[in-house]
Amino acid sequence: MPATIVWLLLCFIATAIGTWLSIRYALHRRLLDQPGARRSHQIATPRGGGIAIVATLLLASLFLLWSGTGPRTTFASFALGLLLVAGVGWWDDHQPLSPRLRLAVQGAAAALLAWGFHADGGSSWQALVAFSSVLVLVNVWNFMDGINGLAVSQAGLVALAFVGFAPDGWSWLALALVAACCGFLPFNFPHARIFLGDVGSGGLGFVLAALLASTAAADRLDWWLLFLPLAAFLVDAGFTLLCRILRGVKWWEPHVEHAYQRAAQANGHSRVTLGYGAFTLLGLTFTLLSRWAIMPYIPLLALALLGGGVFGWLRLRKGVRCFGKE
């Protein structure tokens, strides 16, 4: 394997160059997200820049597969699954697809990844974690990709947790994700020159799901601690989705009811992205501390963190109904 610094630099540079090229492509093809009542931006902005992150991670996974770093069948199924999720997202960025078709492709990718883990000796529980994590995180990252820098910075921070705990080649893939997010971030924050698009948000969710499934079965820490760095997105996306379902609205349609969207309307994109980053960094710190001698206090800290997240969600969404028909 290459030295860590070389690996990080290669992934960073590849993503930065790819993002620059994707801006030129999006402008040429007129792939623009227009502002509107259900959007959080004010000017037309190119989309689909996440293709650069996906391409970098595909190349990284193929190199790991070629070098024999990590389980071969799982890495092969991961690469194919990422191609499926990113491919349907790339198609949707060019020509909107039906939610059912996107979900069907995501389900196929989830099943492929689950099979890969099981074929390489993983338990049925690990395969189930892989399948369900893909369906959840791909859509969570899509729902939460609505303001400058939020989805990509959260993915980079969450990946840091997997760097220290993921087994075999998965830790190298986590490093590649961190570097790729850093390579994309200057183009997306504080002012967005391009958005991730469905290709990027779906791709990030898929990679994080694979890292979660690989690490949860590694017995290097209590599996539930892996959800602490994910808490900000899971709380906001999960509770907002539940509210929309309870109200009987079309929950899959674009909207501005997430806590981060309402906070951005009042405080601007940068403050909200940094605030979510600070919350996730706290969850990441608790996860890392679990490796040392403070184990008796970690469950209490985790409950406090989750309680704070739910309280913040309620405060930010004050005035938005969760019950009754529209």
Q: How many residues are there in the chain?
A: 326
- Name which of 311, 290, 308 is nearest 299 in CA terms: 290
**Tokens describing residue 68:** 């024999």
Q: Residue 200 falls within a domain, yes or no?
A: yes
| Residue 297's pLDDT band (cuts 50, 70, 90) | confident
The three-class DSSP label of residue 1 is coil
Does 78 reside within a domain? yes
pLDDT bucket at 296, cuts 50 / 70 / 90: low
Distance CA 287, CA 225 (A): 6
Q: Is residue 326 part of a domain?
A: no
| CA 153 – CA 93 distance, rounded (Å) | 21
Binding site listing: 142, 198
What's the domain count of the chain? 1
Q: 48 in the Ramachandran plot: left (φ > 0), alpha (ψ -120 to 50) or beta?
A: left
In a domain, 217, yes or no: yes
Instruction: State the average pLDDT over residues 167-181.
Output: 94
DSSP 178-208: HHHHHHHGGGTSSS-SS--HHHHHHHHHHHH
Assign residue 254 a region (left: φ > 0; alpha: ψ between -120 and 50; beta: otherwise): beta
Position 145 in a domain: yes
Give the side-chain half-sphere CA count within 13 A for 184. Answer: 38
Classify the C-alpha dihedral 273-202-36-312 as positive or negative.
negative
- Summarize the annotated binding site for Mg(2+) as residue ranges: 142, 198
Query: Distance between CA atoms of 310 and 314, rounded to whole angstroms?
Result: 6
- Residues 63 and 76: their CA atoms lie apart, in Å, by 11
What is each CA distance from 29 to 25, 44, 194, 202, 260, in whole angstroms?
6, 14, 13, 21, 30
CA–CA distance, 101 with 82 (Å, rounded to integer):
16
- The closest alpha carbon to 308, from 280, 268, 267, belongs to 280
Residues 195-213 have pLDDT tens digits of: 999 999 999 999 999 999 9
Main-chain phi, psi angles of 32, to 5 degrees: -125, 135
Does the predicted model carry a pTM greater than 0.75?
Answer: yes
* Tens digit of each residue's pLDDT (9 = 90 or more) over 67-104: 988 789 999 999 999 999 999 999 999 999 999 999 99
**Highest mean pLDDT out of 162-171, 174-183, 258-267:** 174-183
Q: What is the pLDDT of residues 121-164, one digit of tens each?
A: 888 999 999 999 999 999 999 999 989 999 999 999 999 999 98
Q: How many angstroms separate the CA atoms of 146 and 199, rounded?
A: 14
Q: Which residue type does 95 have?
A: Q
What residue spans of the chain are helical by DSSP H? 4-29, 51-67, 72-94, 99-119, 124-143, 150-165, 170-184, 197-216, 231-247, 259-267, 269-289, 298-316
Quote the domain boundaries for residue 8.
Answer: 4-316
- Asked whether residue 321 is assigned to any structural domain, the reply reads no
Q: Report the C-alpha gap between 205 and 211 in whole angstroms.
A: 10
Q: Say which DSSP state 292 is in.
A: T
The reported pLDDT for the residue numbered 156 is 97
Phi, psi of 65 (to 5 degrees): -65, -45
| Res 107: pLDDT | 97
Longest dimension (CA), the chain: 57
Asked if residue 114 belongs to a domain, the reply is: yes
- Quick one: pLDDT at residue 175? 97
Q: Which pair of structure tokens corresponds to residue 278?
A: 């600070």
**Res. 304: pLDDT tops 90:** no
- Ramachandran area for residue 323 (φ above 0: left; ψ -120 to 50: alpha; else beta): beta
Instruction: Give yes or no for residue 41 having a pLDDT over 80.
Output: no
Q: Is residue 322 part of a domain?
A: no
